[in-house]
Structure 1
Amino acid sequence: MKYPQVQQFIDGQFIDSYEDRFLEVVSPLDGSLLSTVPLGSAVTVDKAVQAAQTAFPRWSAIPIKERVQVFYEYMNLLRKNRQSLSELICEEGGKTMLEATAEIDKCIELTEFACSLPQLTGGEILDVSKGVECRTERYPLGVVASIVPFNFPSMVPHWTIPNALVLGNTMIIKPSEQVPLSVMRIAAMLKEAGLPDGVFNIVHGDKTVVEAICDHPDIAAISFVGSTKVAKRVYVRGTSNLKRVLALGGAKNHLIVLPDAVPDMTASNIVASVTGCCGQRCMAASLMLAVGEVDHIIDRICDEAKRVIPGNNLGAVISRSAKQRIEKYISEAETAGARILVDGRNTVVPGKEGGFYVGPTIIDHVSADMAIAREEVFGPVLAIVRTATVSEALSIENSNPYGNATGVYTQNGGIARQVAERASTGMVGVNIGVPVPREPFSFGGWNESKFGALDITGKSSIEFWTKLKKITTKWNAEAGVNWMS
């Protein structure tokens, strides 16, 4: 075991778990044992909430201009430890070093945005009548929780941690039990940066911990990122307990490709979208809608996919069961009549035979009713459905229950605008395969890719993590009285 047993982080201290249930933490790169992670319970959650409650009055009373100083220092620590943090992401998540470094760079950007919040949260003030003014002020919610997935063990926690804490809340975070190590480094760096004890707490665990978070009466709000199936459950359970909940689910992102698309740019961009992070991201392209005669582009996509080599510039999928599930989708599509142009099944990387690898896979002549065209595969797999018109392609896209992202590849501005307006998704890319907004623009999908109001990042997150107070003031009696005062 390379690393010591993972501990809970409560009230500024790394502590042994109150329970004796553990899971092994295995590296997807080679199947080696990295550590073991405790599976907490409602007792652990309650201990963390108590610590967060105790810390909240003191932390929330600090002016935001002073709270944010912790995150300036924390941002410097992210830069200082960029290499080691990236290496840890590779080990526990299976990413390439390039992808892991980009993840830390995004963490820095998200923290940088949080450092700008003092300039974005100033209240409004207006003289609404003679001698009467109204103003608004934002206040933190209290103890909040964030439940995060395996695919971005550092970045997704940074969607919530900096903003929620700078805005004055205290937090419990529940990382994926498959990748618990990166969040532990985050906790250590926050403490080093000067964050007071109890403001940030970690509870490791499984379904039991998620349910305890949803049920705890002293947690005011929950953010969740994961599958749609679980997102629905968290949203229903959390809101039924009168909590504010924002739950992000899965995706089935469609790329509409027209004959006038620039072939080389389109091919390299699509393959990067399909294979980046081994396809294990909710913004990955997974279904290409080929409009008209685009065989020349599909040929280049296949050529580009063959340049992506598992164990070199393609990482591993998270687990053996994930590899089996992805390969099952491919085999079922082939059995149903689809044509495999590039086959990534049964991939073994020499020297890393214990790793979990799936090579780039391109599947043509997929019908829109096949499972691989409708469901989230979460692997480096592109299914191609042939369509005659843009309207037909949009009809297929609109019929899918998810709604994260749609991309269109064309040099026709009118068609690009048509797709942008008609796509039933929260994010659209024109000649961009992963249209993730940069700060201060917010990340968030539609339909069954998101449950709850507002978005998880950017300016929209300010409203989610705070509540608004309106203050109306009149001092001068000589101003007189009218219907407004």
Structure 2
Amino acid sequence: METQALKYPAIRNYVAGQPIDTPAAALLDVFSPLSGAIISAMPLSSASDLDAAVKAAQAAFPAWSATPIKERVQIFYRYKTLLERDMKALADLVREENGKTYDEARAEVEKAVELTEFACSLPQLIQGEFLEVSKGVEARAERKPLGVVASIAPFNFPNMVPHWTIPNALVLGNCMILKPSEKVPLSAVKIAELLKEAGLPDGVLNVVNGDKTIVEAICDHPGIAAVSFVGSTPIAKTVYIRATSNLKRCVALGGAKNHLIVLPDAHPEMTASNVAASMSGCAGQRCMAGSTMVGVAGIDHIVSKLVEEAKKIVPGQNLGSVISREAKERIERYITEAEAAGAKVLLDGRGAVVPGHEDGYYVGPTVVDYVTPDMAIAKEEVFGPVLAILRTKSLDEALAIENANPYGNAAAVFTQSGSHARYVMDHASAGMIGVNIGVPVPREPFSFGGWNESKFGACDITGKSSIEFWTQLKKTTTKWNPESRVNWMS
């Protein structure tokens, strides 16, 4: 393969502030899902390549962790301005490698800016505690970094998800190994370059590219103290078990099957537009997608509005591609199997083709009604712009369906009744709840994280909750005056 003929130069690992070659590594093609074309190549790094990055991070850690947090955060103030300066270029890169629409890609980078802003507030959130616990005896508690940590990121948010971890973990004094998805390695390189431009010392952030081999090596490496992971539930489980068995901290976010419960009194237009956006945004490739609508009693008028709204979503215009040809085939198979089992396809996105991008990986918006709970499309994470509609007679029956699914990322209710909304808020088994909101993602400082098989490990990955994950408490007791009265506390 002639890598110099590709649209982007072959990706290299980024270690100790520099791109480095991995001559022994095989190269993996990187495709743009927009066109199906090969746009770059990336190295399948080895465990020894990871070890070099860990050593660089270990070498950087003493000076970085000793830098006062008020000084560390100045780098991220500068970094925020660079994200804003390069907003369009960063969004274009996300669009190229992931297939999002430009507006979705830009929104992803804007969220990265917000995450960076939150990290800049951390000096005000980790001031520690101090108390005179006895006469002449003082106790204090301070948060200290863990050391070298790792972040394993997924394909669906090449820019945002790395910012779930990088700003907080680094501002808190850690050094990091970032392992991007092998499907979307381009954004990670740009993030590292911009942080260096902002003044981040060499070795504080290192990027190691690869596949399953590097994920396993991260879980096993004795020099890595904590691991964050975002991806599918089966792999999240495996990462969590492997990392914790090696005595590491781990938070691993998995998949989801989010239920949007719609009551007959829901506002038709608002509900239809929210549900359509929830199921199709980012081509449905997000763990907050509302992939299952559970209608309670008479909701035909809302379903009709929903189909009207979904028809306004056009592949190649306001709907991006899915990540790969295999993903397209898998998504369409769910639709076909549901139809064969008796479900009714109200809007069919199979076989979508975008003129000029005939080899792109597109699935049109799809609405499938009269789905039953036993169908695969109702139980499994489809990860595409597909909505399955289930019908129930009561709110309790709808909640029973929501609670029976093994995931617990998000749930939402659409109603004009405050008591019904409160009932769902109290009884839905999910970590993030929406009321008349199809994508209930918390804004900073509130943290992101689900329940059940959508998350493994303590703490959430963003917001205030992440502080505890990325730090450890040091408690100090001091006494200087020997003349003070001595009792059992001193």
SS of aligned partner of 1:478:
coil
Q: 1:137 aligns with which of 135, 138, 142?
A: 142
Q: 1:261 aligns with which of 258, 266, 277?
A: 266
8 Å contact from structure 2 (residues 25, 46) kept in 1:
no
How many percent of aligned residue pairs carry the same amino acid?
Answer: 68
Matched letter for residue 287 of structure 1: T
Q: 1:436 aligns with which of 431, 434, 441?
A: 441
Confirm whether residue 183 of structure 1 aligns to residue 180 of structure 2: no
Confirm whether residue 396 of structure 1 aligns to residue 401 of structure 2: yes
Matched letter for residue 133 of structure 2: V
Confirm whether residue 84 of structure 1 aligns to residue 83 of structure 2: no
| CA-to-aligned-CA distance 1:169-221 (integer Å, 9 cap, x gap) | 00001000000001100010001001011110000000000000000001000
What's the counterpart of residue 22 of structure 1?
27
What's the counterpart of residue 74 of structure 2?
69
What's the counterpart of residue 15 of structure 2?
10
What's the counterpart of residue 312 of structure 2?
307
What's the counterpart of residue 345 of structure 1?
350
Q: 1:46 aligns with which of 44, 51, 70?
A: 51
What's the counterpart of residue 203 of structure 1?
208
Q: In the aligned structure 2, how far is the partner of 1:32 from the partner of 1:457?
A: 34
SS of aligned partner of 1:468:
strand
Q: How does 1:142-161 map to 2 (within 5 A)?
A: 142-161=147-166
Structure 2, unmatched stretches of 5+, are: 1-5
Q: 1:60 aligns with which of 61, 65, 76?
A: 65
Confirm whether residue 116 of structure 1 aligns to residue 121 of structure 2: yes
| CA-to-aligned-CA distance 1:305-325 (integer Å, 9 cap, x gap) | 000000000000000000000
8 Å contact from structure 1 (residues 326, 377) kept in 2:
yes
SS of aligned partner of 1:65:
helix
Q: In the aligned structure 2, how far is the partner of 1:416 from the partner of 1:477?
A: 61
What's the counterpart of residue 382 of structure 2?
377
Q: Aligned-pair distance for 1:147? A: 0.2
Q: 1:271 aligns with which of 272, 276, 280?
A: 276
Q: In the aligned structure 1, how far is the partner of 2:265 from the partner of 2:59?
A: 61
Matched letter for residue 365 of structure 1: Y
Q: In the aligned structure 1, how far is the partner of 2:436 from the partner of 2:413?
A: 6
Give the CA RMSD over aligned residues: 0.6
SS of aligned partner of 2:61:
helix
Q: In the aligned structure 2, how far is the partner of 1:227 from the partner of 1:17?
A: 28
What's the counterpart of residue 243 of structure 1?
248
Q: 2:104 aligns with which of 77, 83, 99?
A: 99
Confirm whether residue 329 of structure 1 aligns to residue 334 of structure 2: yes
Q: In the aligned structure 2, how far is the partner of 1:464 from the partner of 1:156?
A: 16
Q: In the aligned structure 1, how far is the partner of 2:454 from the partner of 2:66?
A: 36
Q: Aligned-pair distance for 1:18? A: 4.1
What's the counterpart of residue 478 of structure 1?
483
What's the counterpart of residue 467 of structure 1?
472
8 Å contact from structure 1 (residues 213, 219) kept in 2:
yes
Matched letter for residue 287 of structure 2: C
Q: Aligned-pair distance for 1:286? A: 0.4
Q: In the aligned structure 2, how far is the partner of 1:129 from the partner of 1:400?
A: 52
Q: In the aligned structure 2, how far is the partner of 1:264 from the partner of 1:81?
A: 36
SS of aligned partner of 1:178:
coil
Matched letter for residue 49 of structure 1: V
Q: TM-score, normalised to structure 2's length? A: 0.98
Q: In the aligned structure 1, how far is the partner of 2:445 from the partner of 2:482?
A: 44
Matched letter for residue 67 of structure 1: R
Confirm whether residue 230 of structure 1 aligns to residue 235 of structure 2: yes
Q: Aligned-pair distance for 1:19? A: 2.5
How many residues are matched?
485
Q: In the aligned structure 2, how far is the partner of 1:293 from the partner of 1:18?
A: 63
Q: In the aligned structure 2, how far is the partner of 1:397 from the partner of 1:255?
A: 9
SS of aligned partner of 1:219:
coil
